[in-house]
Amino acid sequence: MASPIIREQHKAYCWVSELIQIFIAISITVSFLVMGSAMKHTIDGLVSSFWTDRLEVLSKAWERRFSTRLHVFSAKSLASGCVSLLAFGTIFVISACDPRGFVVMLDKVVSLFLNTEVGLFVFAMLQASKAHRFQHLSIPLPVSRRVFSLSWLLPVYFLFAVGYDVLLTLMEVAESLHIYKHGPLMASNGSPLTPANTSSPL
């Protein structure tokens, strides 16, 4: 939105518009690489967790059937690649069909799942690391019990953010439904009511 305004009203600063576009492109690229790599690792983990012994036997038989020169990827990596291609393809189709809805989904859903991941799953992984089956593993830099006890702050902080995000989303949905059914609330001067102009002055 800022770029057309700069080009129309301040032509001498068109270089600022180009600079903004470059920063936006870099930001989108970095965000895609960060989120995409995390999604790819998640898909790889899900495929590995559902990869049973029977599938492993079939994978070995498939690898023995083809010569080493012909087969480059294992059956597990091929399955992981197909699932990743399906997931990323679905996201691309959704973003191409409804770009604005995709931006809203990124704003709401991604932050919700990231906070849930850190506040719940990472905390569960930390607690599971104290299990007896992991006691034989050597840790190069062990954490003291006092520092490890601070891990309880993870679910408190991040799940509070999840609750706040859910509450805020529900409020926006309720407001959108009210506007859709009854239209926006109008002030006495004819302008629509917003949280900014409904607050009383101090």
What is the per-residue pLDDT across 21-30, written as a single tens digit (0 to 9) for each? Answer: 888 888 878 8
Residue 132 belongs to domain spanning: 99-136+143-186
Asked if pLDDT for residue 73 goes beyond 70, the answer is no
Number of domains making up the chain: 1
Asked if pLDDT for residue 4 goes beyond 80, the answer is no
| 192 three-state secondary structure | strand
Q: Is residue 170 part of a domain?
A: yes
Q: CB within 8 A of 193, min separation 6: which ones?
A: 184, 185, 186, 187
Asked if pLDDT for residue 201 goes beyond 50, the answer is no
The CA distances from residue 128 to 63, 122, 131, 142, in Å, are 35, 10, 5, 15
Give the H or E element holding residue 108: none
Q: Is residue 119 part of a domain?
A: yes
| 30 three-state secondary structure | helix
Among residues 50, 58, 52, the alpha carbon closest in space to that of 74 is found at 58
- The pLDDT tens digits for 100-123 are 777 777 777 777 877 887 788 888
Q: Is residue 178 part of a domain?
A: yes
Q: What is the mean pLDDT of residues 168-190?
A: 70
- Which pLDDT belongs to residue 200? 43
Q: Is residue 108 part of a domain?
A: yes
Among residues 29, 3, 30, the alpha carbon closest in space to that of 17 is found at 3
pLDDT band at 86 (very low <50, low <70, confident <90, very high): very high
